[in-house]
Amino acid sequence: GAGVSQSPSNKVTEKGKDVELRCDPISGHTALYWYRQSLGQGLEFLIYFQGNSAPDKSGLPSDRFSAERTGGSVSTLTIQRTQQEDSAVYLCASSLTGTNTGELFFGEGSRLTVL
Amino acid sequence: AQKVTQAQTEISVVEKEDVTLDCVYETRDTTYYLFWYKQPPSGELVFLIRRNSFDEQNEISGRYSWNFQKSTSSFNFTITASQVVDSAVYFCAIHGSSNTGKLIFGQGTTLQVKP
């Protein structure tokens, strides 16, 4: 596609349920990133993929959070046993190479609300 | 560790006023890149500029200009003759050699331009 696509755009779930958020990066981009933006907060890094590998997953807040990327393309962020503090906008970004010279292209985000 | 500080949480100006958004960064890297992104109400972050640590020349793009000063570790962003469409959240970010591809963002500055 022309840009980074994320789905769902909005998700409301009950505490304790699992959720999956999907990111479809720009075709040909090898690097993919997940960030979290809580209300009034900046962007918090979660995980970085280069191809299908995740060389940096240091930002995942707990073992309830996991992510995978298959075929060097689509990525899924899974949150198990959701808690109210997980409510946030989850942003996905991709870049051509993942080097420090590249700009990140962001999707519009998936807004997660945990009741 | 790298850090970006945007001390201004919110700024409100009247259309046609000039406005400067401050960004101060911390890094131990000698080679690094600085970025500004704009997040309009739609939520999708839009890349504005990338500047590498070896290039301290100021840059102007239309009504936008950036002042990079290594001596004060600052990368400030000025909008001249602001317009209502400039209303958004603006993020400053840094990428260094130790970042494994990720950007470290500041907390963001919300700019409101009133007609």
Looking at residue B98, what is its pLDDT? 62
Average pLDDT score over residue span B21-28: 95
CA A13/CA A18 separation, integer angstroms: 8
Looking at residue B100, what is its pLDDT? 66
Contact state of B50 with A91 under an 8 Å Cβ cutoff: no
Mean pLDDT per block of 10 residues along chain A (115 residues) reads 90 97 94 90 89 90 95 95 96 82 86 96
Report how far apart, in Å, the C-alpha atoms of A92 and of each of A14, A43, A80, B3, B26 are: 23, 11, 19, 21, 25
Residues of chain B found within 8 Å of residue A33, distances taken between Cβ atoms = 101-103
Which residues have C-beta within 8 Å of that of residue B38, sequence separation ≥ 6? Answer: B45, B46, B48, B88, B89, B90, B91
Report how far apart, in Å, the C-alpha atoms of B55 and of each of A18, B5, B110 are: 47, 21, 27
Measured on CA atoms in the order B71, B72, B75, B78, is the torsion positive or negative? Answer: negative
**pLDDT tens sequence across B52-111:** 888 888 888 899 999 999 999 999 999 999 999 999 999 999 987 665 678 889 999 999
| B interface test, pick of A23, A44, A96, A100 with most B CB neighbours within 10 Å | A100
**pLDDT tens sequence across B99-115:** 567 888 999 999 999 99
- Rounded to the nearest angstrom, the minimum Cα separation between A28 and chain B is 16
Instruction: Name the residue among B50, B99, B107 with its Cβ closest to that of A41.
Output: B107
- Rounded to the nearest angstrom, the minimum Cα separation between A42 and chain B is 4
Looking at residue B81, what is its pLDDT? 96
Looking at residue B5, what is its pLDDT? 96
- CB count within 10 Å of CB A97 equals 12
| Token duo for residue A98 | 């993942």
Average pLDDT score over residue span B37-54: 90
Looking at residue B62, what is its pLDDT? 92
CA A66/CA B103 separation, integer angstroms: 20
Please spell the DSSP secondary structure of A23-59, one letter per residue: EE--TT--EEEEEEE-TT--EEEEEEEETTEEEE-TT
Give bridge partners of residue B113 from the DSSP assignment: B13
Residues of chain B found within 8 Å of residue A45, distances taken between Cβ atoms = 102-105
Average pLDDT score over residue span B29-39: 91
CB A34 within 8 A of CB A77: yes
Of A97-101, B12-16, B32-36, the least confident? A97-101
Give bridge partners of residue B67 from the DSSP assignment: B76
Looking at residue A55, what is its pLDDT? 86
